[in-house]
Chains A and B, each alone.
Chain A
Amino acid sequence: MRKVLIIAWSALSRLFRDKKALIVLLLMPMVLIGILGSALGSMMDGGGINPFAVVIVNADQDAKPALPPGAPASMLEQLPATNLGKLLADEVLLSDDVKEIINLTTATDLEAAKATVAEGKTVSVIYVPATFSADVLSGKAANIDVYSDPGQETLANIVEQIVRAFTEQVTTSNLAARLIGHEASQQIVEEINAGLPTITVASSGAKPVKAIQYYAAAMAIMFMVMTAFNRAKDILQEQHDGTLSRILISPTSKATLIAGQVLGNMGVLLAQFVILMIGTRLLYKVDWGAWGPALLLGIAFSLAAAGIGTAAAGIFKDPRAADGATGTIGMIFAALSGSMFPIFLFPDGLKLVAKFVPNYWALQGFLDQMSGLGISYLWTPVAVLSAIGVVTAGVGAWRLASK
């Protein structure tokens, strides 16, 4: 393990002595973030995300909870009728926080509302079915449907997050269960009376992502991939110069050497990410969201990019062959993932293809965290990126070992 760390540390220390590499690694992305963030700020920000259109079709009917066996029927009259769909519309979607980002309109015709999504006029339609309140109050599974424009993934995420938070809160509060197994009493009625209004659905906390935030993440990701490919060329150069062979001449196994190289790649990428994150925070006041999740995403993406770099080192024969190909691949990755142009401008086909690129998952993950969507939005990108990292590093290690 000591040798693995020494090999990894050596890669990191050599990188930080290479002025040319540092310019590409750190200075270029910082400059580009500043230029793109300020140039496209007016287009993307407008003082924040422009409030976007959401339609609610509330078919929900008022409902009362079922009484437990033995409870006097007169109790039912004392229980209030509840319409959770109305609660969602009035108390949540029209709350002060949410009103800042969502323009809510109500409709009764679901199909007509869905047509406005297809036309691009509405980001999402929220449909609350007629039995929603009744189902919740009787302890059955209950769902609210959200129909969203696939081209507005980030905005749609915000809507879905709000609805999910609401649904989870009303279904997990076990409204019906509170009645079952208890003596029917005035106390229960009071509890329900007191309980229902206290169903508070917190705002998702979703905040608009500013252009400078968008490009901080996008450029960091793009340049991290470039660094990963540069590391691949470094490994191939080391192979050419004979330093890799020299390590193998010493009592050091191939597995140790490869592990050191992968760890070195990851260390370089993580260092680059952390420096860019801190640098953009200090220089451009970029809010990356909570530090913990952002760092976790950075680690996951460093693993993915390190894996891809290792695979490139395993696949290409020499630095010159890698040079041309990796430059092109890096640019395609960046363009596809939305590092150059926001992904919502892409046609549907390209949006689908983008999902095969690790940059996409990293950028979506960072944007979700920047808009404050919370930790539940972190796990999918972290899992996808980690899987990409493990698979590609494995392929790279196998290829390098067979060289």
Chain B
Amino acid sequence: MLQVKNLVKRFGDKEAVRSISFEVKQGESFGLLGPNGAGKSTTISMICGLLQPNGGEIHVAGIDALKNTAAAKKVMGVVPQDIALYPTLSARENLNFWGAMYGLSGRELGARVAEALEIVGLTDRQKDRIDTYSGGMKRRINIAASLLHKPQLLIMDEPTVGIDPQSRNNILETVRTLNQEKQMTVIYTSHYMEEVEYLCTRVGIIDHGRLIAQGTLADVRRLAGEETTIRLRIAKATEQMAAALKAVPGVKTVRIEEHALSILVGNSAETLAPLMAAAGSFKIQGVEIEEPNLESVFLHLTGRALRD
């Protein structure tokens, strides 16, 4: 569905995107993960024709998107990071406008608008002005506006920024439905790794304009190694406690944190029981087990947290 080859974008001396290549197959849900300023939005802007790349190739549904931009735009739906709607118009009026921008009109437009409102669950509020909506509802209409022309490829650029958990869940479910039930190919960018882990089967991690890792979720997680972090909550952690735990077989490192001991182990299932036995006298207040995730992958690959 989408092939991106050696994509480059420079702003003056600054290289914002450095020779990025990836592929997204029909029906796939691909997550593009990276911290703010990593180059995700610039990459998306080039794919959807807003920015002209300095180099590389983009093919969407077999169309050369750099040579035949208009045709490529017709098969893409883009949910921008901003709530790009007219606040003084109602939801229906907004959708009518955006549908018309994709060449829809008359009954077809009316039917598509009704369908899009149904998908995002806002049919009953369709006549209300956007400026009376909550942040989450605005985000849902923002998504609906990109579904009107039934795109084959849906690109969502951080669609859950700044909304409440309930709306966020609603949006994630909508995206999942579109991908799994309506077979829509989805590219989802976020700096929330849990969203990408929930929605996507394949991911790419961008940092400083480079795609530093890509593959299935399992493949990418494996890049961080097999280690699991076990965190023991203790009122006052000491050096003696750390030394006692380090002697347990399977324990790789023990780090003293404020009110906790952070223990890196090779296999949590095998090591947890002897570890707890060794810590029997420590007055443990709680135990947390962190399996490898995209956050730890990013940390492993860059030495920084995703939201730094």
Give the interface of A toward B (CB within 8 A): 2-3, 6, 10, 13-14, 17-18, 241-243, 245-253
Contacts and interface: CB of A to CB of B under 8 A. Distances in A.
A14 B49 CA distance: 27
Contacts of B82: 241-242, 245
Given A242-B80, A245-B50, A245-B80, A250 B101 contact: yes
Contacts of B48: 249
B50 A14 contact: no
A13 to B, nearest CB: 7
Contacts of A246: 78, 80, 84, 98, 101, 145
B50 A17 contact: no
A243 to B, nearest CB: 5
B198 interface: no
Contacts of B49: 248-249
Interface string B41-62: 0000000111000000000000
A242 B84 contact: yes
Interface in B50-77: 50, 70-71, 73-74, 76
A323 B105 CA distance: 37
Interface in B141-158: 145
Interface string B79-107: 01111111011000100011011110100
Nearest to B148: A250
Interface string B219-230: 000000000000
Contact of B73 (A3, A17, A18, A249): A249
Nearest to B44: A249
Contact of A14 (B78, B83, B86): B86
Contact of B89 (A3, A17, A247): A17
A105 B100 CA distance: 69
Contacts of A253: 70
A249 B50 contact: yes
25 contacts: A2-B100, A3-B101, A6-B101, A10-B97, A13-B89, A13-B93, A14-B88, A14-B89, A18-B88, A241-B82, A242-B81, A243-B84, A243-B85, A245-B84, A246-B101, A246-B145, A249-B50, A249-B76, A249-B80, A250-B98, A250-B101, A250-B102, A251-B73, A251-B74, A252-B101
Nearest to B72: A251
Chain B binding site: helix, strand, loop or mixed by DSSP? loop
A180 B102 CA distance: 72
A223 B83 CA distance: 31
B101 A247 contact: yes
Contacts of A243: 84-86
A261 B297 CA distance: 47
Given A242-B82, A245-B82, A250-B98, 8 more contacts: A10-B86, A14-B86, A18-B88, A242-B80, A242-B84, A245-B80, A246-B84, A250-B101
Nearest to B49: A249
A9 B113 CA distance: 19
Contacts of B101: 3, 6, 246-247, 250-252
Given A248-B50, A251-B70, A251-B74, A241 B84 contact: yes
A249 B65 CA distance: 12
A249 B78 contact: yes
A249 B175 CA distance: 20
Counting from the closest, the 3 A-B pairs by CB-CB distance are: A242-B82, A242-B84, A250-B101
A249 B44 CA distance: 11
Contacts of B78: 246, 249
A308 B98 CA distance: 28
Contacts of B70: 251, 253
Interface string B103-143: 10100000000000000000000000100000000000000
A6 to B, nearest CB: 5
B152 to A, nearest CB: 14
B49, B81, B84, B105 pick with most chain A CB within 10 angstroms:
B84
Contacts of B83: 241-242
B189 to A, nearest CB: 15
Nearest to B101: A250
A169 B74 CA distance: 65
Contact of B103 (A14, A242, A249, A251): A251
Contacts of A249: 48-50, 73, 76, 78, 80
Contacts of B81: 242
Contacts of A2: 100, 105
A249 B86 CA distance: 16
A30 to B, nearest CB: 23
Contacts of B88: 14, 17-18
A244 to B, nearest CB: 8
A68 B76 CA distance: 85
B85 to A, nearest CB: 7
A10, A13, A246, A247 pick with most chain B CB within 10 angstroms:
A246
A242 B41 CA distance: 13
Contacts of A242: 80-84
B48, B85, B88 pick with most chain A CB within 10 angstroms:
B88
A249 B76 CA distance: 9
Nearest to A14: B88
